[in-house]
Protein backbone atom coordinates (compact mmCIF):
# COMPACT_ATOMS: atom_id res chain seq x y z
CA UNK A 1 0.00 0.00 0.00
CA UNK A 2 2.84 2.37 0.86
CA UNK A 3 4.54 1.70 -2.49
CA UNK A 4 1.26 2.20 -4.33
CA UNK A 5 0.69 5.46 -2.42
CA UNK A 6 4.10 6.77 -3.51
CA UNK A 7 3.37 5.75 -7.10
CA UNK A 8 0.03 7.56 -6.94
CA UNK A 9 1.78 10.62 -5.51
CA UNK A 10 4.26 10.67 -8.42
CA UNK A 11 1.40 10.23 -10.88
CA UNK A 12 -0.52 13.16 -9.35
CA UNK A 13 2.64 15.26 -9.42
CA UNK A 14 3.20 14.63 -13.12
CA UNK A 15 -0.42 15.22 -14.06
CA UNK A 16 -1.09 18.34 -12.01
CA UNK A 17 2.04 20.53 -12.43
CA UNK A 18 1.65 22.59 -15.57
CA UNK A 19 4.37 23.96 -17.82
CA UNK A 20 2.57 27.15 -18.84
CA UNK A 21 -0.67 29.08 -19.24
CA UNK A 22 -2.76 29.51 -22.40
CA UNK A 23 -4.74 32.75 -22.35
CA UNK A 24 -7.62 32.87 -24.86
CA UNK A 25 -9.63 36.01 -25.58
CA UNK A 26 -12.87 35.26 -27.44
CA UNK A 27 -13.46 38.41 -29.49
CA UNK A 28 -16.38 37.78 -31.84
CA UNK A 29 -18.17 35.50 -34.27
CA UNK A 30 -18.83 36.39 -37.91
CA UNK A 31 -21.70 35.27 -40.13
CA UNK A 32 -22.72 32.29 -37.99
CA UNK A 33 -25.39 29.86 -39.14
CA UNK A 34 -29.01 30.84 -38.36
CA UNK A 35 -30.63 28.15 -36.18
CA UNK A 36 -33.90 29.81 -35.08
CA UNK A 37 -37.11 30.46 -36.99
CA UNK A 38 -36.49 34.23 -36.87
CA UNK A 39 -33.33 33.80 -38.98
CA UNK A 40 -31.01 34.45 -36.01
CA UNK A 41 -29.25 32.47 -33.28
CA UNK A 42 -28.45 32.79 -29.55
CA UNK A 43 -24.80 31.66 -29.76
CA UNK A 44 -22.36 30.67 -27.03
CA UNK A 45 -18.98 28.92 -27.19
CA UNK A 46 -17.54 25.93 -25.31
CA UNK A 47 -13.77 25.43 -24.91
CA UNK A 48 -12.07 22.20 -23.85
CA UNK A 49 -8.39 21.40 -23.21
CA UNK A 50 -8.05 17.98 -21.56
CA UNK A 51 -10.19 18.02 -18.41
CA UNK A 52 -10.42 21.83 -18.38
CA UNK A 53 -13.65 23.36 -19.68
CA UNK A 54 -15.04 26.85 -20.11
CA UNK A 55 -18.30 28.23 -21.46
CA UNK A 56 -18.83 31.78 -22.75
CA UNK A 57 -21.88 33.95 -22.09
CA UNK A 58 -24.91 33.70 -24.42
CA UNK A 59 -25.36 36.58 -26.88
CA UNK A 60 -29.06 36.65 -27.87
CA UNK A 61 -30.52 37.12 -31.37
CA UNK A 62 -27.45 37.68 -33.55
CA UNK A 63 -25.29 36.05 -36.22
CA UNK A 64 -22.33 38.35 -35.48
CA UNK A 65 -21.92 38.09 -31.68
CA UNK A 66 -19.43 40.20 -29.70
CA UNK A 67 -18.15 38.37 -26.59
CA UNK A 68 -14.90 40.05 -25.47
CA UNK A 69 -14.26 37.35 -22.81
CA UNK A 70 -10.97 35.94 -21.56
CA UNK A 71 -10.21 32.39 -20.32
CA UNK A 72 -6.98 30.89 -18.94
CA UNK A 73 -6.02 27.21 -19.38
CA UNK A 74 -3.15 25.33 -17.78
CA UNK A 75 -0.73 23.78 -20.28
CA UNK A 76 0.52 20.43 -18.98
CA UNK A 77 2.55 19.14 -21.95
CA UNK A 78 5.79 20.65 -23.26
CA UNK A 79 4.74 20.10 -26.88
CA UNK A 80 1.39 21.85 -26.36
CA UNK A 81 -2.07 20.41 -26.91
CA UNK A 82 -5.26 20.86 -28.90
CA UNK A 83 -8.10 23.11 -27.75
CA UNK A 84 -11.52 21.91 -28.96
CA UNK A 85 -13.95 24.76 -29.61
CA UNK A 86 -17.65 24.24 -30.31
CA UNK A 87 -20.33 26.85 -31.00
CA UNK A 88 -23.93 26.27 -29.87
CA UNK A 89 -27.32 27.96 -30.17
CA UNK A 90 -29.19 28.23 -26.87
CA UNK A 91 -32.74 26.86 -26.96
CA UNK A 92 -35.00 27.18 -23.92
CA UNK A 93 -36.81 23.98 -23.03
CA UNK A 94 -35.02 21.70 -25.49
CA UNK A 95 -31.58 20.52 -26.55
CA UNK A 96 -29.22 23.26 -27.76
CA UNK A 97 -28.43 23.32 -31.51
CA UNK A 98 -24.90 22.67 -32.76
CA UNK A 99 -23.58 25.51 -34.96
CA UNK A 100 -20.00 24.43 -35.72
CA UNK A 101 -16.57 23.52 -34.36
CA UNK A 102 -12.88 24.32 -34.76
CA UNK A 103 -9.57 23.37 -33.13
CA UNK A 104 -6.47 25.30 -32.08
CA UNK A 105 -3.21 23.29 -32.24
CA UNK A 106 -1.02 24.94 -29.58
CA UNK A 107 2.15 23.20 -30.82
CA UNK A 108 2.08 25.42 -33.94
CA UNK A 109 2.04 28.69 -31.92
CA UNK A 110 5.17 30.42 -30.64
CA UNK A 111 5.37 31.24 -26.92
CA UNK A 112 5.41 34.65 -25.23
CA UNK A 113 3.51 36.16 -28.17
CA UNK A 114 -0.14 37.03 -28.81
CA UNK A 115 -1.63 35.43 -31.95
CA UNK A 116 -4.77 36.73 -33.64
CA UNK A 117 -6.63 33.76 -35.17
CA UNK A 118 -9.67 33.73 -37.47
CA UNK A 119 -10.94 30.16 -37.20
CA UNK A 120 -13.47 28.99 -39.83
CA UNK A 121 -16.12 26.69 -38.35
CA UNK A 122 -16.24 23.09 -39.58
CA UNK A 123 -19.66 21.43 -40.01
CA UNK A 124 -21.18 24.90 -40.04
CA UNK A 125 -20.86 28.45 -41.34
CA UNK A 126 -18.89 31.55 -40.32
CA UNK A 127 -15.78 31.93 -38.18
CA UNK A 128 -14.55 32.88 -34.71
CA UNK A 129 -11.95 35.59 -33.97
CA UNK A 130 -9.59 34.70 -31.08
CA UNK A 131 -6.48 36.08 -29.41
CA UNK A 132 -4.24 33.28 -28.07
CA UNK A 133 -1.17 33.81 -25.85
CA UNK A 134 1.15 31.08 -24.50
CA UNK A 135 3.25 31.99 -21.45
CA UNK A 136 5.70 29.91 -19.41
CA UNK A 137 4.75 29.45 -15.77
CA UNK A 138 6.31 28.41 -12.50
CA UNK A 139 3.14 29.24 -10.63
CA UNK A 140 2.86 26.17 -8.37
CA UNK A 141 5.18 23.72 -6.62
CA UNK A 142 4.88 20.75 -4.26
CA UNK A 143 7.61 19.76 -1.79
CA UNK A 144 8.08 17.93 1.49
CA UNK A 145 8.02 19.77 4.81
CA UNK A 146 11.83 19.60 5.00
CA UNK A 147 11.99 22.10 2.09
CA UNK A 148 10.87 25.58 3.21
CA UNK A 149 10.70 28.33 0.58
CA UNK A 150 10.10 31.09 3.12
CA UNK A 151 12.45 29.75 5.81
CA UNK A 152 15.40 29.87 3.41
CA UNK A 153 16.55 33.45 4.07
CA UNK A 154 17.83 34.00 0.51
CA UNK A 155 14.61 32.75 -1.10
CA UNK A 156 12.47 34.75 1.33
CA UNK A 157 14.37 37.96 0.49
CA UNK A 158 13.89 37.30 -3.24
CA UNK A 159 10.14 36.79 -2.75
CA UNK A 160 9.83 39.93 -0.58
CA UNK A 161 11.77 41.90 -3.21
CA UNK A 162 9.47 40.58 -5.99
CA UNK A 163 6.41 41.97 -4.17
CA UNK A 164 7.95 45.10 -2.64
CA UNK A 165 6.44 48.57 -3.33
CA UNK A 166 9.32 49.25 -5.75
CA UNK A 167 8.11 46.43 -8.04
CA UNK A 168 4.50 47.63 -8.16
CA UNK A 169 4.43 48.12 -11.96
CA UNK A 170 6.27 44.92 -12.91
CA UNK A 171 4.03 42.05 -14.11
CA UNK A 172 0.66 43.36 -12.90
CA UNK A 173 -0.91 39.86 -13.01
CA UNK A 174 1.53 38.53 -10.40
CA UNK A 175 -0.03 39.98 -7.23
CA UNK A 176 1.52 37.80 -4.53
CA UNK A 177 2.91 34.51 -3.21
CA UNK A 178 1.07 31.87 -1.17
CA UNK A 179 2.67 29.00 0.75
CA UNK A 180 0.42 26.34 2.32
CA UNK A 181 1.78 23.70 4.69
CA UNK A 182 -0.64 20.77 4.93
CA UNK A 183 0.59 19.11 8.12
CA UNK A 184 -1.97 16.59 9.37
CA UNK A 185 -5.62 15.86 10.15
CA UNK A 186 -7.18 14.36 13.25
CA UNK A 187 -10.36 12.41 14.09
CA UNK A 188 -11.57 12.16 10.48
CA UNK A 189 -14.83 10.50 9.52
CA UNK A 190 -14.57 6.74 8.87
CA UNK A 191 -15.69 6.24 5.27
CA UNK A 192 -14.91 2.52 4.87
CA UNK A 193 -16.13 -0.42 6.98
CA UNK A 194 -14.23 -3.66 6.37
CA UNK A 195 -13.52 -7.03 7.98
CA UNK A 196 -15.46 -9.33 10.26
CA UNK A 197 -15.21 -6.95 13.19
CA UNK A 198 -16.50 -4.05 11.06
CA UNK A 199 -13.21 -2.14 11.42
CA UNK A 200 -13.79 1.48 10.40
CA UNK A 201 -11.11 3.37 8.49
CA UNK A 202 -10.46 5.89 5.73
CA UNK A 203 -7.80 6.35 3.04
CA UNK A 204 -7.57 10.16 3.17
CA UNK A 205 -5.87 12.51 0.76
CA UNK A 206 -6.08 16.29 0.56
CA UNK A 207 -6.89 18.63 -2.35
CA UNK A 208 -5.66 22.24 -2.16
CA UNK A 209 -7.35 24.72 -4.54
CA UNK A 210 -6.80 28.38 -5.32
CA UNK A 211 -9.14 29.46 -8.15
CA UNK A 212 -8.19 27.09 -11.00
CA UNK A 213 -4.91 25.91 -9.42
CA UNK A 214 -5.56 22.47 -7.94
CA UNK A 215 -2.95 20.27 -6.20
CA UNK A 216 -3.15 16.98 -4.27
CA UNK A 217 -1.26 15.27 -1.46
CA UNK A 218 -0.50 11.54 -1.44
CA UNK A 219 -2.99 9.10 0.13
CA UNK A 220 -2.40 7.81 3.66
CA UNK A 221 -4.04 4.38 3.83
CA UNK A 222 -6.15 3.02 6.71
CA UNK A 223 -5.75 6.05 8.94
CA UNK A 224 -8.15 8.51 10.60
CA UNK A 225 -5.25 10.72 11.80
CA UNK A 226 -3.13 11.08 8.64
CA UNK A 227 0.11 13.07 8.42
CA UNK A 228 0.94 14.54 5.00
CA UNK A 229 3.65 17.12 5.80
CA UNK A 230 3.53 18.73 2.35
CA UNK A 231 4.20 22.29 1.22
CA UNK A 232 2.28 23.84 -1.70
CA UNK A 233 3.16 27.20 -3.25
CA UNK A 234 0.99 29.31 -5.57
CA UNK A 235 1.28 32.62 -7.37
CA UNK A 236 -1.61 34.87 -6.36
CA UNK A 237 -3.47 36.60 -9.20
CA UNK A 238 -6.25 38.05 -7.02
CA UNK A 239 -5.81 38.77 -3.29
CA UNK A 240 -9.57 38.32 -2.82
CA UNK A 241 -9.36 34.64 -3.82
CA UNK A 242 -10.40 31.95 -1.35
CA UNK A 243 -8.13 29.00 -0.53
CA UNK A 244 -10.14 25.75 -0.41
CA UNK A 245 -8.73 22.65 1.31
CA UNK A 246 -10.82 19.48 0.94
CA UNK A 247 -10.20 16.05 2.44
CA UNK A 248 -11.39 12.98 0.50
CA UNK A 249 -11.36 9.25 1.07
CA UNK A 250 -9.77 7.35 -1.84
CA UNK A 251 -11.90 4.56 -3.33
CA UNK A 252 -10.44 2.43 -6.08
CA UNK A 253 -13.73 1.26 -7.54
CA UNK A 254 -15.64 4.56 -7.49
CA UNK A 255 -15.22 8.32 -7.07
CA UNK A 256 -13.63 9.58 -3.85
CA UNK A 257 -15.84 10.13 -0.77
CA UNK A 258 -16.06 13.62 0.73
CA UNK A 259 -14.75 13.86 4.33
CA UNK A 260 -14.62 17.61 4.98
CA UNK A 261 -13.65 21.02 3.69
CA UNK A 262 -12.51 24.50 4.75
CA UNK A 263 -12.60 27.78 2.79
CA UNK A 264 -10.12 30.47 3.87
CA UNK A 265 -10.11 33.99 2.31
CA UNK A 266 -6.49 35.02 1.67
CA UNK A 267 -7.00 38.38 3.41
CA UNK A 268 -7.99 36.62 6.67
CA UNK A 269 -4.78 34.56 6.91
CA UNK A 270 -2.34 35.19 9.77
CA UNK A 271 1.17 34.46 8.49
CA UNK A 272 3.30 31.70 10.02
CA UNK A 273 0.65 30.53 12.49
CA UNK A 274 -0.13 26.80 12.62
CA UNK A 275 -3.91 26.53 13.09
CA UNK A 276 -6.39 23.71 13.55
CA UNK A 277 -9.32 24.28 11.18
CA UNK A 278 -12.58 22.48 11.95
CA UNK A 279 -13.73 20.68 8.79
CA UNK A 280 -17.10 21.71 7.37
CA UNK A 281 -19.74 20.02 5.21
CA UNK A 282 -19.96 20.42 1.41
CA UNK A 283 -22.09 23.59 1.69
CA UNK A 284 -19.65 25.07 4.27
CA UNK A 285 -22.58 25.77 6.59
CA UNK A 286 -21.78 23.54 9.56
CA UNK A 287 -19.12 21.27 11.06
CA UNK A 288 -18.38 17.70 10.10
CA UNK A 289 -16.05 15.26 11.86
CA UNK A 290 -12.36 16.08 12.17
CA UNK A 291 -9.87 18.97 12.08
CA UNK A 292 -6.99 19.75 9.72
CA UNK A 293 -3.75 21.49 10.71
CA UNK A 294 -2.44 24.10 8.27
CA UNK A 295 0.26 26.76 8.32
CA UNK A 296 -0.21 29.45 5.67
CA UNK A 297 1.88 32.44 4.57
CA UNK A 298 0.75 35.19 2.20
CA UNK A 299 3.03 37.86 0.73
CA UNK A 300 1.51 40.36 -1.69
CA UNK A 301 1.91 43.81 -3.21
CA UNK A 302 -0.94 46.03 -1.94
CA UNK A 303 -0.84 48.40 -4.95
CA UNK A 304 -1.07 45.55 -7.49
CA UNK A 305 -3.82 43.94 -5.40
CA UNK A 306 -5.81 47.21 -5.36
CA UNK A 307 -5.50 47.68 -9.14
CA UNK A 308 -6.43 44.03 -9.75
CA UNK A 309 -9.59 44.57 -7.66
CA UNK A 310 -10.93 46.88 -10.39
CA UNK A 311 -10.51 44.21 -13.09
CA UNK A 312 -12.79 41.24 -13.90
CA UNK A 313 -12.54 38.19 -11.64
CA UNK A 314 -11.03 34.95 -12.92
CA UNK A 315 -13.75 32.42 -13.77
CA UNK A 316 -13.55 28.91 -12.36
CA UNK A 317 -13.70 26.20 -14.99
CA UNK A 318 -14.80 23.59 -12.43
CA UNK A 319 -18.22 24.93 -11.46
CA UNK A 320 -21.26 22.98 -10.33
CA UNK A 321 -24.32 23.28 -12.53
CA UNK A 322 -27.13 25.28 -10.95
CA UNK A 323 -30.18 23.18 -10.17
CA UNK A 324 -33.66 23.99 -9.00
CA UNK A 325 -34.07 23.98 -5.22
CA UNK A 326 -37.20 25.09 -3.42
CA UNK A 327 -35.20 26.09 -0.34
CA UNK A 328 -32.63 28.02 -2.40
CA UNK A 329 -35.43 29.85 -4.23
CA UNK A 330 -37.04 30.82 -0.89
CA UNK A 331 -33.67 31.83 0.56
CA UNK A 332 -32.85 34.12 -2.37
CA UNK A 333 -36.35 35.63 -2.25
CA UNK A 334 -35.97 36.37 1.49
CA UNK A 335 -32.50 37.88 0.93
CA UNK A 336 -33.84 40.17 -1.80
CA UNK A 337 -36.85 41.05 0.36
CA UNK A 338 -34.51 42.10 3.18
CA UNK A 339 -32.61 44.41 0.80
CA UNK A 340 -35.87 45.96 -0.46
CA UNK A 341 -37.14 46.35 3.13
CA UNK A 342 -34.11 48.55 3.91
CA UNK A 343 -35.25 50.96 1.16
CA UNK A 344 -38.90 50.78 2.29
CA UNK A 345 -37.93 51.48 5.93
CA UNK A 346 -35.83 54.46 4.77
CA UNK A 347 -38.84 55.77 2.83
CA UNK A 348 -41.06 55.36 5.93
CA UNK A 349 -38.47 57.21 8.02
CA UNK A 350 -38.41 60.13 5.57
CA UNK A 351 -42.23 60.12 5.44
CA UNK A 352 -42.40 60.25 9.25
CA UNK A 353 -40.16 63.35 9.13
CA UNK A 354 -42.64 64.98 6.72
CA UNK A 355 -45.56 64.02 9.02
CA UNK A 356 -43.85 65.49 12.14
CA UNK A 357 -44.37 62.28 14.13
CA UNK A 358 -41.38 63.36 16.21
CA UNK A 359 -41.15 67.19 16.20
CA UNK A 360 -37.45 67.40 17.28
CA UNK A 361 -36.44 64.88 14.61
CA UNK A 362 -38.55 66.57 11.92
CA UNK A 363 -37.15 70.02 12.84
CA UNK A 364 -33.58 68.70 12.62
CA UNK A 365 -34.34 67.02 9.27
CA UNK A 366 -35.94 70.24 7.94
CA UNK A 367 -32.93 72.39 8.91
CA UNK A 368 -30.54 69.78 7.42
CA UNK A 369 -32.61 69.75 4.20
CA UNK A 370 -32.42 73.55 3.88
CA UNK A 371 -28.66 73.58 4.56
CA UNK A 372 -27.83 70.76 2.12
CA UNK A 373 -30.03 72.01 -0.74
CA UNK A 374 -28.78 75.59 -0.40
CA UNK A 375 -25.11 74.56 -0.30
CA UNK A 376 -25.24 71.36 -2.38
CA UNK A 377 -22.28 70.53 -4.62
CA UNK A 378 -21.66 67.30 -6.50
CA UNK A 379 -18.57 66.43 -4.42
CA UNK A 380 -20.84 66.03 -1.37
CA UNK A 381 -22.16 62.66 -2.68
CA UNK A 382 -18.84 60.76 -2.35
CA UNK A 383 -18.11 62.82 0.78
CA UNK A 384 -21.35 61.54 2.40
CA UNK A 385 -20.42 57.93 1.55
CA UNK A 386 -16.93 58.57 2.93
CA UNK A 387 -18.42 59.83 6.22
CA UNK A 388 -20.67 56.75 6.43
CA UNK A 389 -17.63 54.46 6.06
CA UNK A 390 -15.73 56.47 8.68
CA UNK A 391 -18.69 56.35 11.11
CA UNK A 392 -19.00 52.56 10.84
CA UNK A 393 -15.23 52.21 11.31
CA UNK A 394 -15.49 54.33 14.47
CA UNK A 395 -18.29 52.10 15.81
CA UNK A 396 -16.23 48.95 15.20
CA UNK A 397 -13.02 50.36 16.73
CA UNK A 398 -14.82 51.78 19.78
CA UNK A 399 -16.68 48.47 20.36
CA UNK A 400 -20.13 50.07 19.91
CA UNK A 401 -21.04 47.96 16.88
CA UNK A 402 -24.01 45.87 18.03
CA UNK A 403 -24.70 43.99 14.81
CA UNK A 404 -25.27 40.28 15.35
CA UNK A 405 -23.85 37.47 13.24
CA UNK A 406 -26.32 36.79 10.43
CA UNK A 407 -28.13 33.76 11.90
CA UNK A 408 -31.04 34.08 9.44
CA UNK A 409 -28.84 33.28 6.44
CA UNK A 410 -27.04 30.54 8.38
CA UNK A 411 -30.33 28.86 9.33
CA UNK A 412 -31.52 29.03 5.72
CA UNK A 413 -28.25 27.48 4.53
CA UNK A 414 -28.64 24.59 6.98
CA UNK A 415 -32.22 24.01 5.79
CA UNK A 416 -30.95 24.03 2.21
CA UNK A 417 -28.31 21.41 3.06
CA UNK A 418 -30.99 19.10 4.51
CA UNK A 419 -33.12 19.60 1.42
CA UNK A 420 -30.12 18.82 -0.84
CA UNK A 421 -29.70 15.50 0.95
CA UNK A 422 -33.40 14.71 0.43
CA UNK A 423 -33.20 15.77 -3.23
CA UNK A 424 -30.24 13.45 -3.83
CA UNK A 425 -32.25 10.49 -2.51
CA UNK A 426 -35.43 11.42 -4.34
CA UNK A 427 -33.68 11.96 -7.67
CA UNK A 428 -32.60 8.31 -7.69
CA UNK A 429 -36.21 7.15 -7.44
CA UNK A 430 -37.96 9.46 -9.87
CA UNK A 431 -37.02 11.65 -12.82
CA UNK A 432 -39.65 14.31 -12.15
CA UNK A 433 -37.29 17.21 -12.90
CA UNK A 434 -36.36 15.72 -16.26
CA UNK A 435 -39.98 15.81 -17.38
CA UNK A 436 -40.31 19.45 -16.35
CA UNK A 437 -37.06 20.65 -17.93
CA UNK A 438 -38.50 23.84 -19.40
CA UNK A 439 -40.15 24.92 -16.13
CA UNK A 440 -36.99 24.10 -14.22
CA UNK A 441 -34.88 26.29 -16.52
CA UNK A 442 -37.18 29.26 -15.99
CA UNK A 443 -37.20 28.69 -12.22
CA UNK A 444 -33.41 28.37 -12.11
CA UNK A 445 -33.14 31.68 -14.00
CA UNK A 446 -35.48 33.37 -11.49
CA UNK A 447 -33.52 31.77 -8.64
CA UNK A 448 -30.22 33.10 -10.03
CA UNK A 449 -31.63 36.60 -10.67
CA UNK A 450 -32.89 36.76 -7.07
CA UNK A 451 -29.44 35.65 -5.89
CA UNK A 452 -27.67 38.32 -7.99
CA UNK A 453 -29.97 41.13 -6.82
CA UNK A 454 -29.72 40.08 -3.16
CA UNK A 455 -25.93 39.63 -3.39
CA UNK A 456 -25.56 43.09 -4.97
CA UNK A 457 -27.39 44.75 -2.06
CA UNK A 458 -25.53 42.69 0.55
CA UNK A 459 -22.15 43.51 -1.01
CA UNK A 460 -22.87 47.25 -0.85
CA UNK A 461 -23.89 46.84 2.81
CA UNK A 462 -20.79 44.76 3.63
CA UNK A 463 -18.51 47.35 2.01
CA UNK A 464 -19.76 49.99 4.46
CA UNK A 465 -19.83 47.47 7.35
CA UNK A 466 -16.06 46.83 7.04
CA UNK A 467 -16.61 43.11 6.46
CA UNK A 468 -13.34 43.08 4.44
CA UNK A 469 -11.20 45.97 5.80
CA UNK A 470 -8.87 45.96 2.76
CA UNK A 471 -11.80 46.69 0.44
CA UNK A 472 -13.31 49.30 2.78
CA UNK A 473 -9.97 51.14 2.94
CA UNK A 474 -9.76 50.95 -0.84
CA UNK A 475 -13.27 52.47 -1.03
CA UNK A 476 -12.17 55.29 1.31
CA UNK A 477 -9.18 56.08 -0.95
CA UNK A 478 -11.39 56.05 -4.08
CA UNK A 479 -14.13 58.20 -2.49
CA UNK A 480 -11.52 60.68 -1.20
CA UNK A 481 -10.08 61.02 -4.71
CA UNK A 482 -13.58 61.46 -6.23
CA UNK A 483 -14.46 64.09 -3.62
CA UNK A 484 -11.29 66.10 -4.36
CA UNK A 485 -11.78 65.80 -8.15
CA UNK A 486 -15.43 66.90 -7.97
CA UNK A 487 -14.53 69.78 -5.63
CA UNK A 488 -11.77 71.26 -7.79
CA UNK A 489 -12.73 70.29 -11.35
CA UNK A 490 -15.97 71.49 -13.03
CA UNK A 491 -18.41 68.69 -13.89
CA UNK A 492 -18.38 69.47 -17.64
CA UNK A 493 -14.64 68.68 -17.83
CA UNK A 494 -15.10 65.38 -16.01
CA UNK A 495 -17.97 64.37 -18.32
CA UNK A 496 -15.88 65.47 -21.33
CA UNK A 497 -12.91 63.28 -20.31
CA UNK A 498 -15.25 60.35 -19.56
CA UNK A 499 -16.99 60.69 -22.95
CA UNK A 500 -13.73 60.98 -24.92
CA UNK A 501 -12.38 57.88 -23.14
CA UNK A 502 -15.56 55.88 -23.91
CA UNK A 503 -15.74 56.93 -27.56
CA UNK A 504 -12.05 56.30 -28.29
CA UNK A 505 -11.58 53.12 -26.22
CA UNK A 506 -12.34 50.76 -29.11
CA UNK A 507 -10.18 52.85 -31.47
CA UNK A 508 -7.21 52.72 -29.08
CA UNK A 509 -7.63 49.05 -28.16
CA UNK A 510 -9.96 47.19 -30.56
CA UNK A 511 -9.86 43.90 -28.62
CA UNK A 512 -10.13 45.32 -25.11
CA UNK A 513 -12.46 43.40 -22.80
CA UNK A 514 -15.31 45.60 -21.54
CA UNK A 515 -15.57 45.91 -17.80
CA UNK A 516 -17.16 48.06 -15.12
CA UNK A 517 -14.68 48.92 -12.34
CA UNK A 518 -17.42 49.46 -9.73
CA UNK A 519 -19.03 46.05 -10.42
CA UNK A 520 -15.60 44.39 -10.47
CA UNK A 521 -14.90 45.95 -7.06
CA UNK A 522 -18.25 44.78 -5.62
CA UNK A 523 -17.68 41.25 -6.99
CA UNK A 524 -14.77 40.95 -4.48
CA UNK A 525 -16.98 41.88 -1.50
CA UNK A 526 -18.56 38.74 0.02
CA UNK A 527 -22.35 38.44 0.21
CA UNK A 528 -24.00 37.39 3.50
CA UNK A 529 -24.04 33.78 2.30
CA UNK A 530 -20.29 33.85 1.59
CA UNK A 531 -19.61 35.50 4.98
CA UNK A 532 -21.27 32.49 6.64
CA UNK A 533 -19.39 30.02 4.41
CA UNK A 534 -15.98 31.61 5.12
CA UNK A 535 -16.64 31.96 8.88
CA UNK A 536 -14.06 29.93 10.81
CA UNK A 537 -15.58 27.44 13.26
CA UNK A 538 -14.13 27.13 16.78
CA UNK A 539 -12.71 23.77 17.76
CA UNK A 540 -14.51 22.03 20.65
CA UNK A 541 -11.77 21.24 23.21
CA UNK A 542 -13.72 18.26 24.57
CA UNK A 543 -13.52 16.56 21.15
CA UNK A 544 -9.76 17.01 20.72
CA UNK A 545 -8.14 13.62 19.98
CA UNK A 546 -4.97 14.53 21.90
CA UNK A 547 -7.04 15.26 25.03
CA UNK A 548 -8.87 11.95 24.74
CA UNK A 549 -5.52 10.13 24.63
CA UNK A 550 -4.37 11.83 27.85
CA UNK A 551 -7.64 11.16 29.68
CA UNK A 552 -7.93 7.57 28.45
CA UNK A 553 -4.46 5.98 28.27
Q: Are residues 66 and 110 in the same domain?
A: yes
User: How many other C-beta atoms can be found within 10 angstroms of the C-beta atom of residue 355?
Assistant: 9
Same domain, 160 and 304: yes
Residue 132 lies in a domain: yes
- Looking at the fold, whether 387 and 516 belong to one and the same domain comes out as yes
Check whether residue 97 and residue 32 sit in a common domain.
yes
> What is the sign, positive or negative, of the torsion defined by CA atoms of 104, 16, 306, 452?
positive
pLDDT value, residue 7: 36
DSSP string, 278-318: EEE-TTSSSEEEEEEEEEEEEEE-HHHHHHHHTSPPPPPSS
Confidence (pLDDT) at 300? 92
pLDDT of residue 8: 37
CB burial string 173-185: b at 16+ within 10 A, e below: ebbbbbbbbbbbb
Q: Do 403 and 508 sit in the same domain of this protein? A: yes
What string of DSSP letters covers 224-236?
A: SS-EEEEEEEEEE
- In this structure, are residues 64 and 161 in contact, taking their beta carbons and an 8 Å threshold? no
Burial class (CB in 10 A: 0-12, 13-18, 19+), 398: exposed
Domain-located, residue 325: no
pLDDT at 440: 66
Per-residue pLDDT at 149: 60
Residue 423 lies in a domain: no
SS3 464: helix
- Count the alpha carbons within 13 Å of 214 in the hemisphere toward its beta carbon: 14
424 part of a folded domain: no
**Whether residue 167 sits in one domain with residue 132:** no
Query: Does the residue 279 lie in any domain?
Result: yes
* CB-based contact 329:450 (threshold 8 Å): yes
Predicted pLDDT at 400: 75
Same-domain status, 184 and 94: no
Could you give the number of structural domains in the chain? Answer: 3
User: Is residue 251 in a domain?
Assistant: yes
CA angle 177, 178, 179 (to 5 degrees): 125
The reply to whether 166 and 251 lie within a common domain is yes
pLDDT score recorded for residue 272: 83
Judge whether 361 and 353 are in contact, CB under 8 Å.
yes
Sign of the Cα pseudo-torsion (54, 56, 57, 62, in order): negative
Assign residue 23 the CATH number of its domain.
2.60.40.150
- Domain check: are 461 and 519 in the same one? yes
Whether 115 maps to a domain, the answer reads: yes
- Residue ending a domain, among 259, 279, 309, is 309
- In a shared domain, residues 127 and 251: no
Select from 124, 50, 120 the least CA-distant residue to 88: 124
Q: Is residue 267 part of a domain?
A: yes
Q: Are residues 264 and 379 in the same domain?
A: no
Which of 76, 108, 136 is the endpoint of a domain? 136
Nearest to 19 by CA among 77, 64, 65, 62: 77
Domain that holds residue 91: 8-136
258 and 393 housed in the same domain: no
- pLDDT tens digits in sequence order for the chain, 553 residues long: 333 333 333 434 434 455 677 888 899 999 999 998 889 999 999 999 888 888 888 999 899 999 888 888 877 765 568 899 999 999 877 788 999 999 999 888 887 778 889 999 998 889 999 988 887 655 566 666 666 666 677 888 888 888 888 877 777 788 999 999 999 999 898 876 655 444 568 889 888 888 877 778 888 888 889 999 888 888 898 999 999 999 988 877 667 788 999 999 999 998 888 899 999 998 888 899 999 999 999 999 999 999 989 888 877 655 555 566 677 777 778 888 888 888 888 888 888 888 788 888 888 888 888 888 788 888 888 888 899 899 888 888 887 766 655 555 555 555 555 555 555 545 444 445 455 555 666 677 777 888 888 899 999 999 999 999 999 999 999 999 999 998 998 888 888 888 788 777 767 877 777 778 888 999 999 998 899 888 888 876 654 444 444 444 3
Amino acid sequence: FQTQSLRLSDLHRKSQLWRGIVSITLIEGRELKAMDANGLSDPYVKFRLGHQKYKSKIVPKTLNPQWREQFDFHLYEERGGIIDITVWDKDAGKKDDFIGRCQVDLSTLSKEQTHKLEMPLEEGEGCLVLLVTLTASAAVTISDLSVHSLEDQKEREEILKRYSPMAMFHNMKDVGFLQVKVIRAEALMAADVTGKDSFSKSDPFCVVELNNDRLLTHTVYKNLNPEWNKIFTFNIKDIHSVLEVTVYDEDRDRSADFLGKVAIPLLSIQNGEQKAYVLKNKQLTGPTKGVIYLEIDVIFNAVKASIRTLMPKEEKYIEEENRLSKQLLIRNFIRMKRCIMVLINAAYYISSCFDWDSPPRSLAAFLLFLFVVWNFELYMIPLALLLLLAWNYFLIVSGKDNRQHDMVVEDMLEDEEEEDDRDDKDSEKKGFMNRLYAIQEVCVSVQNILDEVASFGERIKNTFNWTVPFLSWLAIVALSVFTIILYFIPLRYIVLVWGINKFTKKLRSPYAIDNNELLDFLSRVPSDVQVVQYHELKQDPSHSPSKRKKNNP
